[in-house]
Structure 1
Amino acid sequence: MARITLEDLNGLDDESLDEDEEPMDGEEQNRLFSHWETVASTHQVTLPQEMAGPIVQMTQHSQVREPVPYVTLLQHEKCEERLYPAGKWACVTNGEPMYEQSISMGFMKLMRYICKENSTGRYLGMTVPVVNEIRLSEEGTELLRDVTTTYYLPGEFQPDPPLPTDPDIRIVERQPLRVLTRVFYGVTTEETILREIRLLWELLGSTDTVLRESYMVAAYENPSVPQRRNELWFIRRAE
């Protein structure tokens, strides 16, 4: 069964707490959990009771998010070209029947790692965006089932990343990544992602400088935001 995503737990708008506020009591925690059960049900996923503690922790830190560093190389009319420097990412791969299920399962695992299930036993801090790596079928008409969900380690932990207790999570040192990126808003489903890929190819025209089989989808905002921000990343071929 798919679970609620890390995106879902990252921001509550009026539900969010400031760092100076008193810890939530049992009633507040129950109310918060019920809120996210409702959010989860709108995505056809189930929120397990074991996530109650991590939900509270993530909520209390929801206003502090470290951006993944990058340099803008070129501002095209249709998209932006960026260089993401080498860095360490926590990655987990899932192959559920639906894209939404795969990213949900991945985010659940990463959230536990971020909140406590790591060699430091402490909250690591949130970074944005969370990036989902996808691959297309040979015909380019559908997503392959395996989706890798990735979380950039905050700067504090880049030199020495905490080890995950979950064996499914890998710490990967990614080489510099050059991408063409275009913003889109709304839900991220297989249908919307395939549409955005086709649209960006139409805008770019014929080129062999970017990969055709692999793409990335970057998520910035909580899914309760009706027109939340996402980005599609086309990956430049290594020179």
Structure 2
Amino acid sequence: MFGMIRNALFGTTEVWPCRVLSKGEKNDVVYEEREYDGGKFATVELTGKPFDEALREAVLKLLKYVGGSNEQGAGMGMTAPVCTTVFPGDDGSLQQKVKVLLRIPSQFQASPPLPSDESIQIEDREGMAVYSTHFGGYAKEVDYVNYAAKLSSTLGNEATYHKDLYFCNGYDPPMKPYGRRNEVWLLKK
């Protein structure tokens, strides 16, 4: 637990490497097209809980893992964003199923320590291309749903992306009150 707190307060945050392919703005929505590198990720999948509750639970597990709750007792440092895969229903609301991803820091990519918590899996994921928009504040489910709808509407029929899932991303620790960064990513086809 101390490792997790030390990591959050004093550690550096490594940002998931990406390349910006293009930028746009339409109807007051600013967006980017980006390519993200693949790599190894710690993941937690939860079902049967509302988004905000499931996200808090999964993030706590992942923070403990990178904070030292692993086979090596290694405090690995934090990465950003915390990326949550969500699955919208036909009405746009989110199903009670999330998969939260945290990219393993670069120095541990080749051989990540095994998690002590069996609900955490280590996955090797391919790179991906997304359409992204950002917003501030302490993000909740309603904010992500709203910005996903705005981005989708802005892109219209000009872009092809998956409609059965998208990503909700948070970049900041909970104790950061101002200048917060959240993003919604639509996965390109």
Aligned residue for 2:81?
A: 129
In the alignment, is the contact (CA less than 8 A) between 1:140 and 1:213 conserved in 2?
no
Aligned residue for 2:151?
A: 200
Q: 2:17 is matched by which residue type in structure 1? A: P
TM-score by length of 2: 0.90
3-state secondary structure, aligned to 1:118? coil
Q: 2:78 is matched by which residue type in structure 1? A: M
Distance 1:59 1:233 in 2: 24
Q: How does 1:70-85 map to 2 (within 5 A)?
A: 70-77=18-25, 78-85=30-37
Question: Alpha carbons of 1:198 and 1:230: their partners in 2 closer, same or farther (altered >3 Å)?
Answer: same
Deviations 1:129-162 (A, max 9, x none): 111110111x142101111111101110111111
Q: 1:147 is matched by which residue type in structure 2? A: V
Aligned residue for 1:163?
A: 114
Report the identity percentage. Answer: 28
TM-score by length of 1: 0.72
Q: Relative CO higher for 1 or 2, CA cutoff 8 Å, sep ≥ 6?
A: 2
Aligned residue for 1:142?
A: 93
Instruction: Structure 2 unaligned segments of length 5 or more: list them.
Output: none
Q: How does 1:36-115 map to 2 (within 5 A)?
A: 51=1, 53-62=2-11, 64-77=12-25, 78-115=30-67
Distance 1:90 1:145 in 2: 20
Q: CA deviation at 1:95?
A: 2.4
Aligned residue for 2:133?
A: 182
Distance 1:59 1:126 in 2: 7
Larger Cα-atom Rg:
1
Distance 1:206 1:58 in 2: 43
In the alignment, is the contact (CA less than 8 A) between 1:54 and 1:111 conserved in 2?
no
Number of equivalent positions: 184
Distance 1:208 1:75 in 2: 13
- Confirm whether residue 235 of structure 1 aligns to residue 184 of structure 2: no
Higher helix share: 1
Distance 2:56 2:127 in 1: 27
Distance 2:40 2:152 in 1: 29
Q: CA deviation at 1:60?
A: 4.7
Distance 1:87 1:99 in 2: 25
Q: CA deviation at 1:201?
A: 1.5
3-state secondary structure, aligned to 2:107? helix
